[in-house]
Amino acid sequence: MLNLSSKQLRQAADLKDKIESLQKELGRIVESPTQTQTGAAPKRKMSAAGRAKIAAAAKARWAKVKGLKSSVKPVKKARRKMSAAARAKIAAAAKARWKKAKAQGKNTL
């Protein structure tokens, strides 16, 4: 290497650059499907509670398919409470509709 001319050194450097470029291209082609063209894709993380909910739902589905009683208790959502005033307003509107329908002779029962 010490006896090379400057032209030969330049050719060797260019060749080394081409080899590195081809190695990078090969790496992009061979990379795993979870990685993108620019590098590794960030991994998504799920909380333990999220995994537990998914596992419970899967167990319940399988129990239903197999006809077994599910040992997993479903998560109950809190029901909304309606105020007495709102309930009375809805009831009054329903009574008014029925009264109007009966007056027109449209009794559906």
16-39 pLDDT, tens digit each = 999 999 998 898 888 755 555 555
Q: What is the dihedral of CA 84, 88, 89, 93, to 10 degrees?
A: 160
- Please tell me whether residue 36 adopts helix, strand or coil conformation: strand
Percent of the chain with pLDDT over 70: 78
Cα–Cα distance between 100 and 35 in angstroms, integer? Answer: 67
Cα–Cα distance between 65 and 16 in angstroms, integer? Answer: 62
Q: Residue 27: its pLDDT value, please?
A: 87
Cα–Cα distance between 2 and 6 in angstroms, integer? Answer: 10
Average pLDDT over residues 77-82: 82
